[in-house]
Amino acid sequence: MQPAIAKWYDRRDSVFIEFCVEDSKDVQVKFEKSKLNFSCVGGTDNIKHQNEVDLYEVVDPNESKHKRTDRSVLCCLRKAEPGKSWPRLTKEKAKLNWLSVDFNNWKDWEDDSDEELSSFDRFSEMMNNMGGEDDLPDVDGADDEDSADSDDEKMPDLE
């Protein structure tokens, strides 16, 4: 068994960890208050991966979740104390060769207002706010077949 390569970044209310394992199978993610356990079988060689992370701060295991894609497993750990920045992912300051900072998503959010959400945060928010088809707003005139579209007007001739 070997650890999966992972990258992480910090947000106001969550910490994100992406385990970069392609074609993962038998994915198991166990969230505890101060620990994360990840294991899977991945790649064409069916290599067994296992990572155990003692977290910098406490998270809410019931609100934390993960999502598997063909290229990775993304974990969203909900902070027990939102608004508190994490300078590192792990409790110990030791450098782990399989873990790095995801600079593409890193953001010094302490200096920013809540209005400036990252694209992932906006996407998450949009997904949470989405409802079923019954929740679609009524659009005036959408069902009127007789109403003329403004695009249907005749264009004036060119001179």
Residues linked to residue 98 through DSSP beta bridges, in sequence order: none
Tell me what the mean pLDDT of segment 3-27 comes to.
Answer: 93
How is residue 2 annotated by DSSP?
Answer: B
Contact 16, 8 (CB under 8 A): yes
Q: What distance in Å separates the CA atoms of residue 66 and residue 76, rounded to the nearest whole number?
A: 6
Q: Which domains does the chain have, with CATH numbers?
A: 1-92 (2.60.40.790)
Tell me what the mean pLDDT of segment 119-133 comes to.
Answer: 56
Q: What is the pLDDT of residue 128?
A: 61
Q: What is the pLDDT of residue 154?
A: 78
pTM of the prediction?
Answer: 0.67
How is residue 59 annotated by DSSP?
Answer: B
pLDDT at 45 over 70: yes
**b/e burial code for range 66-79 (CB count within 10 A of at least 16 → b):** beeeeebbbbbbbb
